[in-house]
Chains A and B, each alone.
Chain A
Amino acid sequence: MDSAEALRALEQTEAMRREVAQRTECPPRWHIAFGLLLATIAAGQATPLPYNVCIEVFCIIAVAVFARAQRRRIGFFVNGWRQGRTLPVTFALLAYFMLIYWAGLWLKFNTHIWWAPLAAAILIFPGAVYGSYARQRAFRAEMSEGPRTMAP
């Protein structure tokens, strides 16, 4: 193999990654649905037992439905916890969610503000939608850059 063949091989790899990047563009309703899902997890804590547990279970099932729907739409699944540029975005989103989620729970149990989880859900929704967009943008940027910065 000479350098021209190596360059061609790298270009083919980059083209493949660009193809993946193009396919992973989700319509806005996907990001909104993701935001609603995280908001529902938080809002569910405003309800008494066993309803809050039922809502959590529903949300876990919804995550599986999301993954299934993505596979059906584009033929593959991109995990948010993959190595690469999306990982810091995922951690930031998780930190944002957990902070507000626990604040809502703390207020509910310590100050008896029953609607605190609902307020938390209202705060979580826009952050989750933005986070979902940011994660998609980070993934597409990484794929468009080619394999030179590829994380194993």
Chain B
Amino acid sequence: MSADIPKFDPVIHAPARLQIAALLCAVWDAEFATVRDTVGVSDSVLSKHLKQMEDAGYVRLSKASLDGRVRTRLSMTKVGRRAFAAHIKALQALVSIAEHAPGPASLDAQSDLAAAEPETVL
């Protein structure tokens, strides 16, 4: 049974990174300032999260000039998009188990999912 259960992604698991991934997966690319303001974090916190996502190969950072200023553009890589989709599936599976099939079998499955939960890196 555990083999069918999607796994949580340790990189996307943190709430702020989940929001960053949700935003970047919806668009082609986004500016650093837009992501910062939308997620509601400071420059340094966003940079820290982006570093982890970049190290995992989920996010690509590029510099581009706009209105005479160099701005950082962020985009989700294919690997990142797949990881985000898998993480969402895992979340949905957990919610679905709790919503639709309450009983001993679902409790087992919920335990399997909980066991698959990674250590959250903040």
A interface residue numbers (CB < 8 A to B): 1-3, 6-7, 9-10, 12-13, 16-17, 19-20, 68, 71-72, 74-79, 82, 143, 147-148, 150, 152
Residues of A within 8 A of B26 (CB): 16-17, 20, 78, 143
What's the Cα separation between A148 and B88 when bound, in Å?
Answer: 8
Within 8 A of A (CB), among B90-107: 91-92, 94-95, 97-99
What's the Cα separation between A9 and B99 when bound, in Å?
Answer: 15
Additional 7 contacts, C-beta under 8 A, given A71-B66, A72-B66, A143-B26: A2-B94, A3-B94, A10-B91, A12-B22, A20-B23, A148-B92, A150-B88
Residue pair B34, A9 in contact (C-beta under 8 Å): no
Within 8 A of A (CB), among B46-69: 66-67
A-B contact pairs, 18 of them (CB 8 A): A3-B94, A3-B97, A6-B95, A7-B91, A7-B95, A13-B19, A16-B19, A16-B23, A16-B38, A72-B66, A75-B37, A76-B27, A76-B29, A82-B28, A143-B26, A150-B25, A150-B88, A152-B81
Q: Which residue of A lies closest to B8 (CB)?
A: A1
Residue pair A68, B66 in contact (C-beta under 8 Å): yes
Residues of B within 8 A of A10 (CB): 88, 91-92, 95
Residue pair B28, A6 in contact (C-beta under 8 Å): no
Smallest distance from the beta carbon of B83 to chain A beta carbons, Å? 9
Q: Interface 1/0s, chain B 23-45, versus A by CB < 8 A?
A: 10111111101100110000000
Residue pair A1, B114 in contact (C-beta under 8 Å): yes
Smallest distance from the beta carbon of B118 to chain A beta carbons, Å? 10
Q: Which residue of B lies closest to A76 (CB)?
A: B30
Residue pair B22, A13 in contact (C-beta under 8 Å): yes
Within 8 A of A (CB), among B68-122: 81-82, 84-85, 88, 91-92, 94-95, 97-99, 110, 113-114, 117
Q: Does B15 reach chain A (CB closer than 8 Å)?
A: yes
Smallest distance from the beta carbon of A31 to chain B beta carbons, Å? 19
Residue pair B31, A76 in contact (C-beta under 8 Å): yes
Residues of A within 8 A of B18 (CB): 9, 12-13
Residue pair B19, A3 in contact (C-beta under 8 Å): no
